[in-house]
Structure 1
């Protein structure tokens, strides 16, 4: 994929010691250039902010792929549906971070009640030691660990950003990651999984 850049020059600094004027120039990628041409308000990220966003986006991409793969491996339809739901949310997180990388902050619609409101149906009994139950227990446990890790990344990275809208978005995504872990924990609990 080829990237196109536009150089935009602005501001003339005071004469330097050698008598020359200095002009500040910045390269912008095509999406950013298009927004500037439409005179939209554009946020310019620091290198540290960009690196943090790319790391978080990479985590979200891995999570989305993991949930897609695990939804195919889950034996219980309830767990399969839960994985599919979470996969869609992880994909939305990935896309939201991409929008920030392109210079805009998407609207935050944090649904912090998903974890609280989730009431899974039990499929497995406490004395069930089947391969299917052990498989589903492993998948759910692994995903809880992943959600804890990703949530802690957001907790750390939120303070890298100066823009309040980005901090709010990251805090909202972190809450949603915690909701995912809570939903998975509830699934394990109702199915008597250790």
Structure 2
């Protein structure tokens, strides 16, 4: 079954979000001053790349093979944690921004799941959405364990 225009648009939007997450997490991994957080951000970037590959595969299988404007960029090189004080950002703020991003991304996938006609594509999108919710949980736990996100 070919993609509907709605499915194509939703998948392209989520692909944009995945590429932005990859960039963000790679940058945050290089900027974080905490070794554990560097690893969390690196792991998330890798998982987001898997999602981007899945979405790009869906588009390619449906004859849509255009270059995404967010797809290529120069990955940060080395440890940039000394930039934190220069730009006035903390590990807590990096985590908070990442968590807010994941909340947005899971919401976007929810729409794509609900508006997808093809059951196979819907299952792939549901799988990615569940993984994105797991990313949010990882970020929340990292914040909560450091006292940066309190629940009362």
TM bucket, shorter chain: 0.7 to 0.9
Q: Which residue does the alignment assign to 1:66? A: 24
Deviations 1:60-100 (A, max 9, x none): 00011000010011000000000000000001101100010
The structure with the largest helix share of the pair is: 2
Larger RCO (CA within 8 A; separation ≥ 6): 2
For 1:46-57, what aligned pairs fall within 5 Å after superposition? Answer: 46-57=4-15
TM-score (norm 1): 0.61
Shift of the alpha carbon at 1:189?
1.4
**Structure 2 Cα separation of the partners of residues 142 and 94 of structure 1:** 20
**Structure 2 Cα separation of the partners of residues 169 and 58 of structure 1:** 17
Tell me which stretches of 4 or more aligned residues in structure 1 moved more than 4 Å: none
The structure with the largest strand share of the pair is: 1
For 1:92-111, what aligned pairs fall within 5 Å after superposition? Answer: 92-103=50-61
Which 5+ residue runs of structure 1 have no aligned equivalent?
A: 1-42, 105-130
Structure with the greater alpha carbon radius of gyration: 1
State the number of aligned residues: 124
TM-score (norm 2): 0.77
Over the aligned positions, Cα root-mean-square deviation in angstroms equals 1.4
CA contact (8 A) 1:140 1:184 kept: yes
For 1:28-43, what aligned pairs fall within 5 Å after superposition? Answer: 43=1
Shift of the alpha carbon at 1:159?
2.1
